[in-house]
A and B are shown apart, each in its own frame.
Chain A
Amino acid sequence: MSAVRILDGNTFVVTDRCGDFETSPTFPTGLFSWDTRFLSRWMLRINDSPLYALSVDDAEYFQTRFFLTPANATHGFDSKLSIIRQQTINDCFEEQLTIVSHADEPLDLHIRIDAASDFADISTIGQLVERKGTYQVRIQEGCLHLVYQRDDFVRETVIHCAVEHPDCPVGPRTELDEAGLTITGCIPARGTWIANLNASMLSHNGRTVRESLRGLRNPRPRLAEDLHRWMTQAPKLECEHPTLHETYRRSLIDLAALRYTPMVSGGLSVPAAGLPWFMTIFGRDSILTSIQALPFASELAAATLYALSVPQGCRLDDFRDEEPGKILHEFRYGEATAFEEHPQSPYYGAADTTPLYLILMDEYERWTGDGDLVRRFEREARAALDWIGTYANLMGDNYIWYQRRNTRNGLENQCWKDSWDGISYADGRLPGFPRATCELQGYAYDARIRGARLAREFWNDPALADRLEREAADLKERFNRDFWVEEGEYYALALDGDGGKVDALSSNIGHLLWSGIVDTSRAERVARHLVGPRLFSGWGVRTLAEGEGRYNPLGYHIGTVWPFDNSFIAWGLRRYGFEEEAARIAEGIIEAAGYFGGRLPEAFSGYDRKLTRYPVDYPTACSPQAWSAGTPLLLLRTLLGLEPVGEHLISDAALPGSINRLALLDIPGRWGRIDVLAVSRL
């Protein structure tokens, strides 16, 4: 099924090419808001005939127009009628159904829309879950009400329909029933009917979910104006590359679409992680996307820092894997979370979000000069630094370790490769717990270095700065001793609970370059692995090297290529002076984007480029996904060698062969706005 998605924050619709949807057991089709499915069936039939899609216009992320005609068994389609189905998300779901007759005589029409909802929690779709609430369907005051109630938890869809008939005094008759609605009548010759359907999504008290959770009605900007403002504020890209321009534009639009205003962010919008499964705040995804987008839209970083500060961990809670100072992993609003069957209220099972939060704070200030934010969140930043040295320091050796306390449905792997088999030895065995993955140590190193700068420049605490720098130096020295795999000449993926090396060769070593924890003497060997045949597919760096026990080119974290991973790897390579290697990875990922219409998926397969010639889709990848949309932005930064230094923006471009000339105009930052132009020199 080719899915059409429209969205606004965490409200979205997934339909087929005609604008219809019905329940799929595995893929989340339907109308969703705040993690609940409000419509699971929405099917249009005209005179009992299904419809045939002539074309689909989804240029706007919050609106899709389907151009349809009734399918006809003998001729393929019936040209007497045109149907334009315009679906819009704007807090509620709106469908404007325009029926245009091309006939010279009146036609009898029977328009049927089936509507139903299972009110599924998106996090339980694909699982067999016995629903504990009750369903009710009623027709009241001209509306069809679909209701699900479990104790005080109420979710309700209210469907309303009004038909305009501009060409004739007598319009069609609209009738509601418990399974949908029917519009019947005689459309005059060359006449038009316009049916305006509306589905509101309500919580208890008959308020919209947003209003009832928020407590306030929040006027929202008009989406079209908001998108226009977003696009005009972003830097302008000029280049002659065939796909880079479209990829850049697509990335900006997708990041605009994925912006979502959580309950506590001062009304600012953070990047939600990805459609359709992850339309909520994820600490890791929101932070890394904000870092990628800093040179383009620093407002995402400010919002993310705000939204992650308020719910910072403040107590011990086993079910939520919460500890004081820890930055959250995931927040959900659905039934399973509300009734504490799932722990995302919020869940804190991530060992990387806390150091990444500090890294984002420092990087944000370097770009924007917004020292007020650094001072405002001093207490939270100190608590985050404390967490790294205490609750994360499970073994007393100053490495970050993780071991879940929620053994029912907490995450086994609390790093970005969080699937159950994401961390393995070279021979394929899985290590015991706790585990200390290598990139966590890199982040902790970087967070201390950056924390020291913040302490010195903004918190007036040189003693803390000195201590953090001493700890960072010590960490770097021990890390280079404890994680280095001599025979392979790379860093181990992790340490196991006995201090042994989890010796698989993985993309994680690229993050170490980004963090700066790699000894300069070893950087070249790491770089050689990253662009070598076991890790580099020709499109990008695989999550796990070919030849490792668990390697699978279609394995989620064990062989696929993740664009976001590659963007940080390329940045890391540049940090250590490997311009050519960075450019090669950037070029591969940008070329791959061309095969996806400029929209990089969450992941694609790790097959060798020479074998498949095009990047093979990973079957259930999220798209659009925030950190994939952010990837071209960080790659541009990397190719242009953009670094804020003091009050200035420095550029030291290193372009790959396929990009002769690159200009990025109006780059915003503490310097105001600045243009950067580069020509190929590699």
Chain B
Amino acid sequence: MASPIAEFFGRLSKAHHDRLERITGSIRFEVVSDGATEGWLLEISSGNVSARQAEGKTAHCVIHCRRELLERAIRGEQNLTAAWLSGRINVDGRLELFRLFERMLPGPPTARDPRDLVSGQEAGHR
């Protein structure tokens, strides 16, 4: 079975991202777990993302973090910006690529639509 990280990167590769249409660049992830490092390379071009496992490739931006943290971020349970500010993630190179990647992650699973809050509805406001 594919890891949650592999699945997430796979999903990113299949979709078109309007937000990335003017962006060209690559992000290398160094994901650390049990002392071993797993490398991923994300290449962004014209709104498309291609992801593959790769060690030691040069990239415009290198993100170094623990596997458990990245998996939580992929589930929307860990805000990546806060993790970066607190030093749990190291970013080298073009920061805007990290910030754009961060924007592709889901929000907290328990988050509410403000319109539902006002109308008191559980869901299905729209």
- Show the binding face of A for B, using Cβ within 8 Å: 151-154, 203-205, 213-216, 263-264, 266, 310-311, 314-320, 322-323, 333, 335, 337-340, 345-346, 376, 379, 390-391, 393-396, 401, 403, 405, 434, 497
Contacts and interface: CB of A to CB of B under 8 A. Distances in A.
B79 A405 contact: no
Nearest to B103: A314
Contacts of B2: none
Interface residues of B, number: 37
B99 A263 contact: yes
A314 B19 contact: yes
Given A310-B103, A394-B117, 20 more contacts: A205-B90, A215-B93, A310-B100, A311-B103, A315-B106, A315-B111, A316-B113, A317-B111, A318-B112, A319-B108, A338-B86, A339-B86, A340-B79, A345-B85, A376-B22, A379-B19, A379-B21, A390-B115, A391-B115, A403-B117
Contacts of B112: 316, 318, 405
B82 A337 contact: yes
8 contacts: A152-B87, A216-B92, A310-B96, A333-B85, A339-B86, A379-B18, A391-B114, A394-B118
A256 to B, nearest CB: 24
Contact of A315 (B61, B99, B107): B107
Nearest to B60: A215
B79 to A, nearest CB: 6
Nearest to A317: B107
Contacts of B91: 213, 215
B82 A317 contact: no
Contacts of B22: 376
A216 B118 CA distance: 44
Contacts of B106: 315
Contacts of B100: 310
A323 B82 contact: no
Interface of A (DSSP majority class)? loop
A362 B99 CA distance: 26
Given A154-B87, A315-B111, A317-B111, A263 B82 contact: no
B6 interface: no
Contacts of A335: 86
B118 A395 contact: yes
Contacts of B107: 315-317, 322
Contacts of A345: 79, 81-82, 85
A318 B115 contact: no
Closest 4 CB pairs of A and B: A315-B107, A152-B87, A338-B86, A338-B85
Interface in B39-80: 61, 76, 79
A320 B106 CA distance: 14
Given A315-B106, A345-B82, A401-B118, A153 B99 contact: no
